[in-house]
Structure formats: C-alpha cells, structure tokens
C-alpha cells in the first residue's frame, strides 16, 4: 500500500503536511500517485485520456513481463487467465501476494501454476504500477494499447525506482 511506495511517510502524516491532495471520485493524490478510499493504489485518467505516470508505467511493465502468459492488455490467453476479469476479485493484497509468491491451482481437469516474481526487480519494483494498469483496464477506464498521453514521471517515482532496483 502507501507504505510500500513511501515507507517513511504514512498517508495520514502526508495529508497533514499538505502533500496529499483530494482528487476526483474520492481518490487521494500524493506526488502523482493516486489512492482509493482504502488507501490502495489506483489509476487516474483525465478527460482528455491522459493517464497518471503509474498507470502508464504499469502498461509498460505488464507488457514486458506479464503479457507473454496473460495476453496483451490483460485479456488472457490459452495459457493463463484474463487478469482484467480476475483483478477485482483478487483485490490489492491478494494480487501482490500472488505476484510475489506465485500460485498453483489444481482441479480435476487441469493444473495451473504461476511462478512467483518476488525476486524479479522488473516486476517487484512495479507491482503497484501493474496493479493500477490492470484495474484501469478492468474498469474500462483506458482502451487497449499503449496510452497515448501520460503525466510526467514524478521525482518520487524516480527516487523509489532507484532505491528498489538497487536493493536498498
């Protein structure tokens, strides 16, 4: 959640310092990152179709690591399920857990296994971004394909990325 991206600043403190801003639809914005009422990461799409940086980053990361199995734009494949259908059922916490640790499902007719990506910095450091991208797709807030417009990459995103990728 919020603490993962901004580990030293709880959301209540960030809001009290005036760095968090109320956005549309009950969302809270902190340095370009949006959170829903439960303080879980979410997307923001402006009327002209501009997506927040993290949704755009999620598109890029999803298509570099996840679409091979789960299909383009989260639509699924013959190999793995459509994530835009299951993302809301999973919820944020379970999504992070499954991506980090993996999951195996065994039924009478088949066995499916998703490996864990908790040690892959190209996934681990961007799990929130992938999540918000998939939620935006599931809500039909963004169409298929690369978002045409995006917000500038926030300085906080650059700092977090460097720290995460360096293993600090």
Tens-place pLDDT, residues 96-122: 999 999 998 888 887 778 999 999 999
Answer yes or no: is pLDDT of 1 > 90.
Answer: no
pLDDT, residue 8, reads 42
List Cβ neighbours of 156 (8 Å cut-off, separation of 6 or more): 5, 6, 30, 31, 32, 33
- In three-state secondary structure terms, 12 is helix
Structure tokens at 140: 């039909």
Domains of the chain and any CATH numbers: 2-156 (1.10.760)
Answer yes or no: is pLDDT of 146 > 90.
Answer: yes
Half-sphere exposure of residue 16, counting CA atoms within 13 Å on the CB side? 5
pLDDT digits (tens, 9 = 90+) for 13-59: 444 444 555 555 789 999 899 999 999 999 999 999 999 999 999 99
DSSP-derived secondary structure letter, 118: T
Q: Which of 51, 50, 102, 30 is nearest to 41 (CA)?
A: 30
pLDDT, residue 23, reads 54
Please report the sign of the dihedral spanned by the C-alpha atoms of residue 123, residue 141, residue 21, residue 37. Answer: negative
pTM of the predicted model as reported, rounded to 2 decimal places? 0.83
pLDDT, residue 22, reads 59
How far is Cα 91 from Cα 103, in angstroms, rounded to an integer?
15
């Amino acid at each position: 959640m919020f603490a993962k991206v901004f580990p030293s600043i709880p959301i209540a403190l960030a809001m009290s310092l005036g760095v968090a801003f109320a956005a549309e639809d009950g969302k809270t914005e902190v340095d370009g990152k949006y959170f829903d009422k439960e303080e879980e990461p979410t997307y923001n799409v402006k009327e002209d179709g501009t997506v927040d940086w993290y949704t755009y980053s999620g598109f890029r990361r999803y298509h570099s690591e996840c679409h091979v199995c789960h299909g383009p734009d989260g639509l699924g494949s013959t190999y793995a399920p459509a994530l835009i259908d299951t993302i809301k059922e999973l919820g944020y916490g379970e999504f992070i857990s499954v991506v980090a640790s993996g999951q195996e499902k065994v039924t009478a007719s088949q066995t499916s296994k998703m490996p864990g990506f908790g040690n892959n910095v190209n996934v681990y450091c961007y799990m929130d971004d992938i999540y918000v991208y998939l939620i935006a797709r599931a809500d039909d807030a963004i169409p298929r394909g690369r978002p045409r417009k995006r917000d500038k990459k926030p300085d906080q995103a650059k700092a977090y990325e460097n720290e995460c990728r360096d293993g600090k």
